[in-house]
Amino acid sequence: MNDAPSFSSATEALEMARAAMGFLAAADAMAMPASVQAECLQVLEEVDAVETAARASILRAFAFGQGYCADGAYSARAWLFHQTRVTRGAAGVHVKWAARAGAHPVVTAALAEPAVSESWARIICGLTDRLPAESRDDADLILITAVRGGATLADLLGLGETMYQKSRSATPDGDDPGRVLADRSVRLIETFQGAGVLAGDLTPECAAVVTTVLDALSAPAGPEDTRTQEQRYHDGLAEAMRRLVAAGLVPARAGQPAKVLAHIALPDLLDLDTGSELMAAWTARVRERWAAARAAASETGGDGGVWLEGQAAEAFACDATITPVVTGEVHLAALDDLIRLCVELAGHGPGRCGTGPSGDAAGASQETGASQGTGASGGPGTSRPPGGEPRCRSLRHHNPAVHGPPAPADSSRPGRTSAAPSP
């Protein structure tokens, strides 16, 4: 007899499930007896298994009917990412379970009962995926039956390995040397301020190599080393990656080795007071912009770069090609003053470009008289002060980046006087 309540629609069932979870989330867990807390945790794990089976079944049908096209998505995974606001990694996990639902119907049915947890079901699918397709359903049934009988996880792993070895012996040449674990994967999800979460399913060969490297680089530094094994493994992984980059074994990109883009604030170059409130606000604003860029790159993809600062940046920069990048903010009023100063320093001023101090043409005829008849005219649109370089009459060219500083007087060149121009 099925004691499950009946609902008139899927919407009604979802509303009931949402209400039940809302009640538990709002309940005072500290006031519950330990027995009630334990019951809640056990049942919630069962609910998670049923939820996994329900989502896999619905998502598989949704993908088969291409329901995601109605919202302009190109795949079920893209639709989950945009419409349900989950990360790409979480969307990938859901899509994988939808694929497992079709390849492992026995396991999916056990999840719906629920007779097995989500994590154990994932391991069972991984064990039987190594077997021939025609033997997969029978192997799933054997493992699920073992779970119902009280088998532990170690029992399941041993039973799965036994079935795998028997399947290899049934093959004339043992096993295909080119066969690899189909579910092999490594996922690196970037989180807050550039930190990350690393997880994956490794092949036996990869696991052996990784274990060897981490064990060699994670040994305690001495009696004063209080790091846990997990922390030492983390530091060993970071050290292995640094050694790999320093040894030049990382494939080059566009013919160049790994490099550092050192972002240097313009106030730092001017040696301003780094402890000022203005500087602190500017630095915090730049750090926030890069944090937002990192967060976006973790979901949409980036150029492979990573933002480092402090000691971490100094350590990585030791063996990398450094490209300084100077950043600053343009203040239009200050920019006008800067251009005006450059014009004055370059010798551009009243009476030097075709007009006199009063702005009429008289000054122009007087000032260009020294060069008239010498055959050394600067050409159309220019004028030459006595002993000076030709000056452009166009105001848009009054920039030292165009003309450069005024050249000194040179008596050896035609049309020049030996005396320097008077101020």
Q: Which of 159-168, 304-313, 318-327 has the highest mean pLDDT?
A: 159-168
Residue 116 has pLDDT above 80, yes or no: yes
Between CA 383 and CA 390, with CA 384 as vertex, the angle to 5 degrees is 80
Quote the pLDDT of residue 327.
63
pLDDT digits (tens, 9 = 90+) for 207-221: 888 989 988 888 888
pLDDT digits (tens, 9 = 90+) for 373-405: 444 444 444 444 444 444 444 444 444 444 444
pLDDT digits (tens, 9 = 90+) for 304-314: 666 676 677 77
Residues 241-245: what's their mean pLDDT? 84
Q: What single string gives the DSSP state of each residue in 290-359? A: HHHHHHHHHHH--SS-----THHHHHHHTTSEEEEEEE----HHHHHHHHHHHHHHTT--TTSSS--TTS
Residues 32-38: what's their mean pLDDT? 95
Quote the pLDDT of residue 225.
86
Write out the two tokens for 67: 């329901």
Asked if 272 contacts 258 with a C-beta cutoff of 8 angstroms, the reply is: no
CA 71/CA 139 separation, integer angstroms: 39
Residues 278-307: what's their mean pLDDT? 69
Q: Which residues pair with 190 in a beta bridge?
A: 196
Percentage with pLDDT > 70 across the chain = 62
Residues 349-374: what's their mean pLDDT? 45
Q: Which residues contact 372 (CB under 8 A, 6 or more apart)?
A: none
CA 275/CA 281 separation, integer angstroms: 10
Mean pLDDT of the chain: 75
Could you tell me how far CA 150 lies from the centroid of its own chain? 44
Burial category of 367 from C-beta neighbours within 10 Å (exposed 0-12, middle 13-18, buried 19 and up): buried
pLDDT digits (tens, 9 = 90+) for 94-113: 999 999 999 999 999 999 99
Write out the two tokens for 328: 């600053």
Asked if 168 contacts 174 with a C-beta cutoff of 8 angstroms, the reply is: yes
Phi, psi of 139 (to 5 degrees): -65, -40
Write out the two tokens for 148: 């119902």
CA 387/CA 401 separation, integer angstroms: 22
First to last CA, the chain: 108
Q: Which of 187-201, 296-310, 367-381 has the highest mean pLDDT?
A: 187-201
Residue 265 has pLDDT above 50, yes or no: yes
CA 101/CA 422 separation, integer angstroms: 91
pTM: 0.49
> What own/partner pairs with CB < 8 Å and gap ≥ 24 does 251-260 have?
253/304, 256/321, 257/320, 257/321, 258/319, 258/320, 258/321, 259/320, 259/321, 259/322, 259/323, 260/313, 260/316, 260/317, 260/320, 260/321, 260/322, 260/323
